[in-house]
Structure 1
């Protein structure tokens, strides 16, 4: 991926091209199904291993690491709450490496406040008809299926259900791609449901039990973002350290200046802290222990670290860091959104405070 990332990201910013061939490559390499059971086509790997793969990929191409994280999240409801029949039918397809999923949860007025969503699924015989609009959906228009959360009653957070909606469903359409600051290889659009018919057998879990599924999935998804942000920061650190050793001023490498060397040291400390936080949370998850607070901590620490380290990387490169001749400016642009999606860092602080205070 490394030789292609800058060219593809630049092209995607202008043409809305989506690098599906990269996901085909990762799928053929077995990277699209790592933490799921082998009996359904997964690799049966611990979450800790899966997250280290995300970090490694994201150190080169954040959009690729993010894409795997999103796809893995789309499989979670079926893997954790699907009936044996649903798992046997859907998971081999979802985990085949040939399909790509999208996670349709957020809406324009229902971001952090998921319970206020207005997309509705109403009964029509043995089917549901889904109407509404989802916003900020990665892979929209390119995914093979949409893990969709819709309101089935007005009972607050207990009125939401989860559905698997195939991409070729009549009535499913998409808005124009969002013009984003970065992550151009990650196409983001609205997903529009106009009386989209979904069989009851594609409802995952009991009717009205979608909110717990969404929140449990987001705990794991936050670890994916934490790992990706750590990789992004590591990529920026590697670039800055290499540049500092090679760039000479006043007859010596700029790395020999203690002020800059200490800046590099602080960057390395931030990356190391981020990595430790997500690995600890992953080990709790793998052990079957509660990890929601630790996932929020990891997401907060890792994404704040990514923003700091990428900012400092631009500083280390000086004027060169402000140009597109080096990827420092791309790392910087990509880091910002990690503090926003999968729950803003303000929401992470709320989660951490409530868990710590026992509320």
Structure 2
């Protein structure tokens, strides 16, 4: 499928795909489906190649527009939007290098990944989180070493929360060198069917079951040197500190969409009854919800656009953290307002609001967490060197 090139057409495609995904959300949340159907729909819609440059067969989407795509998907199926973002955490960081000449090995890696996505519709996912360490790169226990023939890497370790488990074709695994500094972390592309790769039972969580999240074990998994991310060891933390948007900002679009869904449900519930719609107290509540949502949307969109114009700048990175913090606050706030306006009948298990409120609360769990966002903004305010990896506990 050839993706449209005009932004309005891409957003229309996102809305249409989201409408197809919407009926699946409740079934997955209730445990009656594993959520993989959503990602089949995403594949068939051609969305996996949104961020890949046009010259490589993708849509060449900017980060700001990608944020808006996630918002549209999140309005209709929050878990699917988050799972889709995990694919783009991997692809987006690579797409950022488009147009930049790279060493031959890195060029070959980039071309291979782009071709896997565009020509074969392969889905990628990120495997970083570990028990007791979360998604922080520093302090990671998963290790790698060169094989005796020095043509392969051997990975060992366990990941605790890997989204798209069983749904993706490849997983980009973060690991540190055996015996090396814990801050020198590299990423490797591991295929789902590589010997030594296994997944535990998919976690049954309070929300976001559609992300198909499970533990991952790597038992002497051997991958060729060509699958070292961009063919450079020890660069992961360096990259994250300077350009944290792929680890953080993708979540803001999806969670903004969930907040929008809460607001839309509340408005629909109110307007279904003329008596409620004419109540000045309820109108006041809806006005407050609208103002909060509009402020969050403006911040998220501005952060996305600033990444496009000033990627890696202190201001762009600060905006990313501000947007993530605000969205993590606004979703639950709108949920509380919705309960007050709609009453207990609207939050029964039969209505989507109950699920949306649970989903919104998970924003504070995803990186960067609220205290990390505030730390970043506070350090920026007092002039701390935010390009020094030693500044953070990541």
TM-score in terms of structure 1 length: 0.92
Taking a change above 3 Å as real, the CA distance of residues 167 and 324 of structure 1, as seen in their structure-2 partners, is same
Match of 1:254 among 273, 276, 283: 276
Structure-2 residue corresponding to 1:314: 339
- Can you list the C-alpha shifts for 1:7-48, whole angstroms capped at 9, x where unaligned? 553345435x33333223223323222233112232012211
2:288 equivalent to 1:266? yes
Taking a change above 3 Å as real, the CA distance of residues 300 and 312 of structure 1, as seen in their structure-2 partners, is same
Matches within 5 A, 1:265-344: 265-289=287-311, 290=313, 291-344=316-369
2:160 equivalent to 1:144? no
Taking a change above 3 Å as real, the CA distance of residues 41 and 24 of structure 1, as seen in their structure-2 partners, is farther
Structure-2 residue corresponding to 1:111: 134
Between Structure 1 and Structure 2, how many residues are aligned?
Answer: 354
Match of 1:14 among 16, 21, 31: 31
Counterpart CA distance in 2 for 1:172 and 1:261 is: 54
* Structure 2: runs of 5+ lacking an equivalent: 1-17, 385-394
Structure-2 residue corresponding to 1:93: 116
Matches within 5 A, 1:112-261: 113-124=136-147, 125-205=150-230, 206-215=232-241, 218-247=244-273, 253-261=275-283
Report the alpha carbon displacement of residue 178 of structure 1 after superposing the two structures with TM: 1.2
CA contact (8 A) 1:339 1:345 kept: yes
Structure-1 residue corresponding to 2:79: 63
Taking a change above 3 Å as real, the CA distance of residues 78 and 52 of structure 1, as seen in their structure-2 partners, is closer
TM-score in terms of structure 2 length: 0.84
2:62 equivalent to 1:46? yes
Structure-2 residue corresponding to 1:356: 381
- Can you list the C-alpha shifts for 1:287-332, whole angstroms capped at 9, x where unaligned? 1342211101011111211111122222221021220222110100
CA contact (8 A) 1:153 1:160 kept: no
Taking a change above 3 Å as real, the CA distance of residues 30 and 2 of structure 1, as seen in their structure-2 partners, is closer
CA contact (8 A) 1:73 1:217 kept: no
Report the alpha carbon displacement of residue 215 of structure 1 after superposing the two structures with TM: 4.7
Counterpart CA distance in 2 for 1:320 and 1:146 is: 42
2:107 equivalent to 1:84? yes
**Structure 2 SS opposite 1:169:** coil
CA contact (8 A) 1:76 1:217 kept: no
Counterpart CA distance in 1 for 2:209 and 2:83 is: 12
Taking a change above 3 Å as real, the CA distance of residues 23 and 126 of structure 1, as seen in their structure-2 partners, is same
Report the alpha carbon displacement of residue 147 of structure 1 after superposing the two structures with TM: 0.8
**Structure 2 SS opposite 1:312:** helix
- Can you list the C-alpha shifts for 1:336-359, whole angstroms capped at 9, x where unaligned? 111111221111111111122221
Counterpart CA distance in 2 for 1:207 and 1:349 is: 30
Counterpart CA distance in 1 for 2:21 and 2:118 is: 26
